[in-house]
């Protein structure tokens, strides 16, 4: 019973965060397109050395994930009428090989 309201709260919070991110992105885009809006946000927006998120966005300096899809051809299917080679099994008891004994304690003579 307690889980359902919590899930609803998380779902609403995700929507609000998504809407906030979209709003910030659209505001950056509008300020990059209209320099007068950028000047309203910063007093030194027209300065040549001014650097902020809007100027970086306007000059195309945006870091984004590489979404290039790599296309690969499927491996070729090789059909043969030859029978598969018989597997090679080695039958040896490797648990008690002569060089593998229990640890020997030091003997004092």
Q: What was the pLDDT predicted at 21? A: 92
Q: Is residue 45 in a domain?
A: yes
pLDDT under 50: residue ranges of the chain = none
Helices (H), 1-109: 3-33, 35-41, 53-58
Q: Is residue 50 in a domain?
A: yes
Contact present, 49 and 56 (Cβ < 8 Å): no
**Number of domains observed in the structure of the chain:** 1
Residue 39: how many CB atoms within 10 A of its CB? 13
Q: Is residue 30 in a domain?
A: yes
Q: Is residue 64 in a domain?
A: no
Token look-up 């950056």 returns 28
Q: Is residue 75 in a domain?
A: no
Q: What was the pLDDT predicted at 57? A: 82
Share of the chain above pLDDT 70, in %: 75
Q: Is residue 54 in a domain?
A: yes
Q: What was the pLDDT predicted at 22? A: 94
Residue range(s) defining the domain that contains residue 18: 3-58
Q: Is residue 46 in a domain?
A: yes
Burial of 34 (0-12, 13-18, 19+ CB in 10 A): exposed
Q: Is residue 103 in a domain?
A: no
């Amino acid at each position: 019973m307690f889980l359902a309201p919590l899930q609803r709260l998380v779902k609403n919070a995700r929507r609000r965060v998504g809407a906030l991110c979209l709003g910030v992105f659209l505001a950056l885009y509008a300020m990059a397109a209209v320099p007068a809006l950028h000047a309203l946000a910063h007093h030194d927006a027209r300065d040549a050395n001014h650097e902020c998120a809007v100027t970086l966005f306007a000059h195309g300096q945006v870091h984004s994930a590489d979404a290039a899809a790599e296309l690969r051809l499927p491996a070729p299917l090789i059909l043969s009428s030859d029978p598969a080679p018989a597997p090679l099994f080695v039958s040896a008891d490797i648990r008690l090989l002569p060089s593998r004994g229990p640890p020997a304690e030091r003997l004092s003579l």
